[in-house]
A and B are shown apart, each in its own frame.
Chain A
């Protein structure tokens, strides 16, 4: 694998790019420039991540605006797709083939010489840790093996730009660590990689550079810590279901980090600007007053709630 310099304008340049499926909005007025490296595309399901990735892969044509990869439209320009490797989100593939056959066919279709295609496929399969299973038919593969095979099809022709749509979905924790490591190696080898996920910690494991997409719009872009800081500026909510919610509320009411306390049917909801301190004080109050807690949860663990916060930030 060779390190390739991105084109002068950036690997991807999207300008006011929108995509509709009939009346349904996929991506709305996205302007974005990707210069290189490994970038995480973060957003909840249905946010528009796959639409954006498919436009970069040349599978969808923008309804409005433009999107160029290496300066060319990937939908219209067949040649530029030689430099793109795409692993789709879905699991459907030609299950009648073995992993080696599948990856070899994909390499040949991507322009690798027939004589070299099988060697390239074997190399890609080895990079994804699938050598032992390469002569088995895809039909019998587990989710993790399918993900690895998909990634192998994307890298077999040694493209400069890799698009992995939800590559960690449904993968067991051990395989997840391994796949993350292999994707990082690709980026270290000079590839530009875009990885989508709806799980923040998956993206954090891969890269610190993230783009947050929600309801078809790019909400935020930059270092993951900046995004976290942005998120942290919003109160964190903790819901406590207990036998004496008023006692808990009184204990925390004087603390300066508590923004709001709301009594609910079975407990109390606390909004805090310092979750760590709040959890500590909560534990102290529960122990000191002998409060029986039946449930403790944070609605903000749902990423959708965080995106709602970020949407509010932009308004």
Chain B
């Protein structure tokens, strides 16, 4: 019998084969290109002040959409369409199904977000963004993937729209509040780690820890739910 991680890699492969035969990847590439268009347009108009901050706002919106498109829809559809019956009737630990999807989709989400960030900052300023901001966007994307996994395993039928709604109407608004509630926001922690927004005084390490804690909580919710789900 395969080990759990070996199984996760097979599921990751299966997930990627399916993904690249669908339209989601191409749609997401188009969405990821929007901040680049925005930055280029702003630069063309000669407005250069706080370019990185403006682009980062755009990137947080991207974070609300891309991981949900990949992770929440993949997990939600499998549960809702009952294709999980093929997986769960095999000698496959439940956690490895989740791990396989995350191993396939989280790096892809992170790569798209980071690629979009680098390209849009370069398009707007003709300079490369800081390494810390790249790290922040990558870990932020992975954290939102874990949020997506948690929400999709709780509400498979509406996993993608609910994740987007959660990010747009809870995480992003709470993240800009000047109170400690902002610590619950992935996008706030991302900004703290990125050190791009001058108004945020938190240390980068605090942002990194915050992202790790929030990601772990959502991963725990997803694992707990997947373990209990019946097909």
Residues of A within 8 A of B (CB): 54, 57-61, 78-82, 84, 86, 88, 90, 92-94, 96-97, 101, 105-106, 108-111, 153
Contact = CB atoms under 8 A, between A and B. Distances in A.
A93 B17 contact: no
B7 A109 contact: yes
Contacts of A110: 90-91
A106 B1 contact: no
A54 B89 CA distance: 9
Nearest to B93: A78
B2 interface: yes
Interface of B: 1-2, 7, 10-11, 13-14, 17-18, 21-22, 81-83, 85-93, 230-231
Given A86-B89, A111-B2, 10 more contacts: A78-B91, A81-B90, A82-B91, A88-B82, A88-B89, A108-B10, A109-B87, A110-B90, A111-B1, A153-B86
8 contacts: A82-B1, A92-B83, A94-B83, A106-B86, A106-B90, A109-B2, A109-B91, A109-B92
Given A60-B230, A111-B1, A92 B90 contact: no
Nearest to A111: B1
B230 A81 contact: no
B5 to A, nearest CB: 13
Contacts of B13: 105
Nearest to B83: A92
B1 A79 contact: yes
Contact of A93 (B7, B86, B89): B86
Given A96-B17, A96-B21, A97-B18, A81 B91 contact: yes
B94 to A, nearest CB: 9
A59 B91 contact: no
A307 B34 CA distance: 63
B72 to A, nearest CB: 18
A109 B12 CA distance: 11
A111 B93 CA distance: 12
B83 to A, nearest CB: 6
Of A57, A79, A92, A101, which is in contact with the most chain B CB atoms at under 10 Å from its CB?
A: A92
Nearest to A165: B85
